[in-house]
Amino acid sequence: MRLFLALIASALLAGCASYSGSGLRPGEARLGDVQALMGAPAMRWQEPDGSILLAYPRGPLGYHTFMVKLGPDKRLQSITNALEPATFARIQPGMTKGEVLHVLGPSILLPVYFQARDELAWDWRFCSDFGAPSRFSVLFDNTLGTVRSTLSLAEHSPIGMDKAASARSCSR
């Protein structure tokens, strides 16, 4: 029984490490280590300085997109959650879709088009500073393909889920 419980605990810890890459050590882990633990990235950018940026969205039900930065030597420099209010503040009117993706990673949720305003909305789920499930929306001028505005709103609890249970889903 103890062996069984130890195996279950190990599997759960490994699952958490692969979700966020928390078991990887900056300066030591390499690209292969990151991909072995976290899987294939959803997006990848080669930066002008030779570094690499990888995006790991954990949606559609998750609240994180981990951005992994590797130096020109292909060693891990950092892993950060892009879906944070401080990162959202970097999204400004006039930015292109590509620039938004580079900051936040891909939205796993389906885009919504508002014909009357010729506006395209991309949404990301995140946990607010108060631990509430929320959405960050970027509204694009569809003709120009640039950011028109942004919006953050708390999500409504799913039917049958009380507010406390909804907030616990953000306590990861």
Domain boundaries, the chain: 1-81, 83-172
Same CATH fold assignment for domains 1-81 and 83-172: yes
* DSSP result, 3-44: HHHHHHHHHHHHHHHHHH-TT--TTT-BHHHHHHHH-S-SEE
Find the mean pLDDT for residues 141-159: 89
State how far the Cα of 42 lies from the Cα of 79, in Å rounded to an integer: 15
More confident residue, 89 or 131: 89
CATH class of the domain defined by 1-81: alpha beta
Q: How many CA atoms lie within 13 A of 86 on its CB side?
A: 3
The CATH code of domain 83-172 reads: 3.30.1450.10
What is residue 10's predicted lDDT score, i.e. its pLDDT?
37
What is residue 32's predicted lDDT score, i.e. its pLDDT?
95
